[in-house]
Amino acid sequence: MELFTWNEKYSVNIREIDDQHKELIGMVGQLHDAMRQGKGKQVLEEVLRNLIQYCRTHFATEERLMKANGYPGYETHKAKHDSLTNKVAEIYRQYQDGKVTISLEVMTFLENWVDKHIMGADKQYGPFLNSKGPA
């Protein structure tokens, strides 16, 4: 069972971004499933590491599109990306050091952040980028 799943309400009507959001939501669900099933540290670490890398790839895609189209909220949006990347990287470091576990609290943070980020900041750039034509 996933913590949350893709829903059309998350669509920004840009196929590349929507596909990446689907993947990102799936990876959070994969991490949640591994945690719930009591998978070993190595499995959890690999899933978390993949999630961090995918976030970086996804954020780079969004930032490239925003910058190329002159999105006026680019700097603010990028700062939100940087903040999440730093937070998840810190969770990963603490997990490796045995200072934090992949708990329901961590999963709730990830779910809430992804949900709020897509429904808030990403929904703001969607109409702007769509007005510029196909990405």
135 assigned to some structural domain: no
Count of domains observed in the chain: 1
Give the residue ranges of the chain where pLDDT is below 70: 1-3, 134-135
Give the pLDDT confidence of 86-97 residue by residue, as tens digits: 888 888 888 888
* CATH number of the domain residue 122 falls in: 1.20.120.50
pLDDT value, residue 65:
95
pLDDT value, residue 127:
93
In 3D space, the residue among 132, 131, 130 whose CA is nearest the CA of residue 18 turns out to be 130
In 3D space, the residue among 50, 60, 51 whose CA is nearest the CA of residue 81 turns out to be 60
- Measured CA to CA, the distance from residue 13 to residue 41 in angstroms comes to 37
- Measured CA to CA, the distance from residue 48 to residue 39 in angstroms comes to 12
Cα atoms found within 13 Å of the Cα of residue 13, Cβ hemisphere only: 12
The pTM of the full predicted model, rounded to 2 decimals, is 0.85
10 assigned to some structural domain: no
25 assigned to some structural domain: yes
Q: Confirm if 26 and 6 have CB atoms less than 8 A apart.
A: yes
pLDDT value, residue 43:
77
67 assigned to some structural domain: yes
Burial class (CB in 10 A: 0-12, 13-18, 19+), 55: buried
